[in-house]
Amino acid sequence: MPISTLHDDKLKALEEKANEIRQDLIKMLVEAKSGHTAGPLAMADVFTCMYFHILNHDPKNPDWEERDRLILSNGHICPIQYVAMAYAGYFPKEELMRLRKYKSRLQGHPHRTSLPGLETTSGPLGSGLGQSAGMAKVALMDGKKWRVYCLMSDGEHDAGNTWEAAMFAGKNKLYNLTAIIDRNNIQIDGFTEDIMPLEPLRAKYEAFNWYVIEVDGHNILEIVDACRKAEAVYDKPTVIIAHTIPGKGVEYMERDYLWHGSPPGEGPENAFTKDKQAEEAIKSLRTLGGKIESEHE
Q: Domain residue spans in the chain? A: 8-295
Provide the 3-class DSSP secondary structure of residue 179: strand
**What mean pLDDT do residues 225-235 have?**
97
Residue 288: predicted pLDDT: 67
Q: What are the Cα distances from residue 113, in Å, to 24, 53, 110, 238?
A: 24, 25, 9, 29
**What mean pLDDT do residues 126-141 have?**
98
**Please, what's the b/e burial string for 61-82 (b: 16 or more CB within 10 A of its CB; e: otherwise)?**
ebeeeebbbbbbbbbbbbbbbb
6 or 295: whose pLDDT is higher? 6
- The rounded percent of the chain whose pLDDT value lies above 90 is 89
pLDDT in tens, 13-23: 999 999 999 99
The counts of H helices and E strands in the chain are 11, 7
**What mean pLDDT do residues 174-195 have?**
96
Alpha carbon 186 to its chain's center: 15
Q: Domain 8-295 sits in which CATH superfamily? A: Thiamin diphosphate (ThDP)-binding fold, Pyr/PP domains (3.40.50.970)
DSSP-derived secondary structure letter, 236: S
Question: Exposed/middle/buried for 148, CB within 10 Å: 0-12, 13-18, 19+?
Answer: buried
Residue 289 falls in which region: left (phi positive, over 0), alpha (psi -120 to 50) or beta? left
Residue 124: predicted pLDDT: 87
Handedness of CA 248, 250, 254, 259 (dihedral sign): negative
What residues contact 297, with CB distance under 8 A and at least 6 apart? none
Give the Cβ contact number of residue 135 at 10 Å.
Answer: 22
Residue 44: predicted pLDDT: 98
d(CA 185, CA 220): 20
Examine the pLDDT at 1 and tell me if it is beyond 50: yes
pLDDT in tens, 264-296: 999 999 889 999 998 999 999 987 655 554 443
pLDDT in tens, 157-176: 999 999 999 999 999 999 99
Residue 287: predicted pLDDT: 79
d(CA 251, CA 277): 11
Q: H or E element: which one contains 72?
A: strand 69-72
Indicate the pLDDT class of residue 133, thresholds 50, 70 and 90: very high
Q: Tell me the one-letter amino acid at 109.
A: H
Which of 217, 243, 221, 241 shows the shortest CA–CA distance to 54?
A: 221
CB 150 within 8 A of CB 126: no
pLDDT in tens, 191-201: 999 999 999 99
Residue 188: predicted pLDDT: 87
